[in-house]
Amino acid sequence: MLRILHVIETMSAHEGGPPRVVAGLAVAQHALGLRPHVLCADRGTLAEQGRFWELHEPGFQTQWLQAGCDRRDGLLRRRTQTRAWLDANLRDYDLVHIHSLWRVVPTLAARRARRRGVPYLIAPHTAMSSWALSQKWAKKRLARTVVWDAIFRHARGFHALNELEAAEIRACLRGRGPSIYVVPNGVTLAQFAEDPAARPPASLAQLTAPNGPAPYVLFLARLHTMKGPDLLLEGFAAMAGQFPHLQLVFAGPDFGLLPGLEARVQELGLTARVHFPGMVSGRERLWLLRNSVCLAQPSRDEGFSLSILEGLAAGRPAVISDRCKFPEVAASGAGIIVAGAPAPIADALRAYAADPGRADADGGRAHGLVERHYTWAAVARQAQRMYEAAAENGAHRGQATPVVVTPGRGE
């Protein structure tokens, strides 16, 4: 039984995809017979995080959560407490799976694992792309020089979510370093079964109409520059006059853009048609996914978005940017991939708003794409093979070679 320690700064759902990836992967790994635990910095809210994931990721167990510190404390206290936890518990695990870079708990866990000879893999979650590295570049360059370059060199491998992210990691490492394993994200299809009792969020009652939901485009992600909500708003504004009943929903927590977006909506005269319900979860989230015209996410950079996968799993087509690193969407006819600019975004939205039949047909292909390749059960088996390969190969410091962990039968 492989004992896996996932390490992430926080399991708060407000952080977006990585906590949801960890929760979904842990459930699927447990079903395979592995023993997953999650180390985070949520000591003060650990019970709350556990209840949330038990409710929203069926099969998740609060007992898997381990808190090294409380992220609300000062840096010195967090470092001291996390090191104490690692010194007491690290040897209980066969492999450490580091999720994301730069933050306190992942940094300390990777360094302690290296010193104690416990194998570790790094999942950057797009943190090694050129766009991500250009944000606060001076701090990240210093962090790499002082700490992270050594962590990179001694890792048993990198976990990339697709071939394009693998290429970014390889470029960041200048072609040298551990092997790069390509294993995607996944979803649990059972969560997308029809639920006739579901209702829209109370704040979006205007989306209901006598004959069913009013037509709307759904953005389901953090309101963050990386996710491109500003680009989507401008694209929607460019075609909204042709479809007076079409609405736009930005469902996700604010990461600094909400005031500017609201001001721009008012300037555009779209206040009655653009909605900001905040973060949604559970039945409300599923209702929004299933009843949308399409899911739109024109990200400036992306790893492998769970919200895009969820939209596809719900049977809706996707309008995504070419920076979402998901070419299979267009190749399978499950959506439209565009450049990250308002005009092509408007054209793609126009195509689905004008042709509901096409939207439904592409949505059917979207669901099939997820069913064939992106369920958590299949992804967990690939991740297990990644762990086994990393453990067998040991630390490799030659060429940073991508290794695709190929699906097995039925995956």
Tokens of 216: 């709307």
Domain boundaries, the chain: 3-186+376-404, 192-373
Predicted local distance difference test score (pLDDT) of residue 196: 53
Predicted local distance difference test score (pLDDT) of residue 409: 36
**Letter for the amino acid at 401?**
T
Q: Are 3 and 31 in contact (CB under 8 A)?
A: no
> How confident is the prediction along the chain (411 residues), in pLDDT tens digits per residue?
789 999 999 999 888 789 999 999 999 999 999 999 999 999 999 999 999 999 888 899 999 999 999 999 999 999 999 999 999 999 999 999 999 998 999 999 999 999 999 999 999 998 888 888 888 888 888 888 888 989 999 999 999 999 889 999 998 888 778 889 999 999 988 888 766 556 677 777 777 766 667 899 999 999 999 999 999 999 999 999 999 999 999 999 999 999 999 999 999 999 999 999 998 888 888 889 999 999 999 999 988 888 999 999 999 999 999 999 999 999 999 999 999 999 999 999 999 999 999 999 999 999 999 999 999 999 999 999 999 988 876 544 445 555 555 444 345
Q: Are 19 and 60 in contact (CB under 8 A)?
A: no
Predicted local distance difference test score (pLDDT) of residue 203: 72
Q: How far is residue 4 from each of residues 92, 203, 295, 383, measured CA to CA in Å?
A: 9, 40, 34, 11
Please tell me the distance from the alpha carbon of residue 147 to that of residue 372, in angstroms, as a whole number.
40
Backbone angles phi, psi at 57, to 5 degrees: -130, 80
Domain 192-373, architecture per CATH: 3-Layer(aba) Sandwich (3.40)
Please tell me the distance from the alpha carbon of residue 57 to that of residue 36, in angstroms, as a whole number.
15
Please tell me the distance from the alpha carbon of residue 213 to that of residue 401, in angstroms, as a whole number.
48
Predicted local distance difference test score (pLDDT) of residue 402: 54
Kindly state the DSSP code that residue 256 receives in the 8-state scheme: S
* DSSP-based three-state secondary structure for 13: helix
Q: How many residues are listed for the chain in this entry?
A: 411
Tokens of 43: 């000591």
Q: Are 98 and 73 in contact (CB under 8 A)?
A: no
- What is the DSSP annotation of 187-225? B-GGGGS--TT----GGGGGGEETTEEPPEEEEES-B-G
Other beta carbons less than 10 A from residue 102's beta carbon: 17
Predicted local distance difference test score (pLDDT) of residue 198: 64
Please tell me the distance from the alpha carbon of residue 308 to that of residue 220, in angstroms, as a whole number.
8
The reply to whether the predicted model has a pTM over 0.95 is: no
- CATH classification for the domain delimited by 3-186+376-404, as one of 3.30.750.24, 3.40.50.2000, 1.10.10.10, 3.30.360.10: 3.40.50.2000
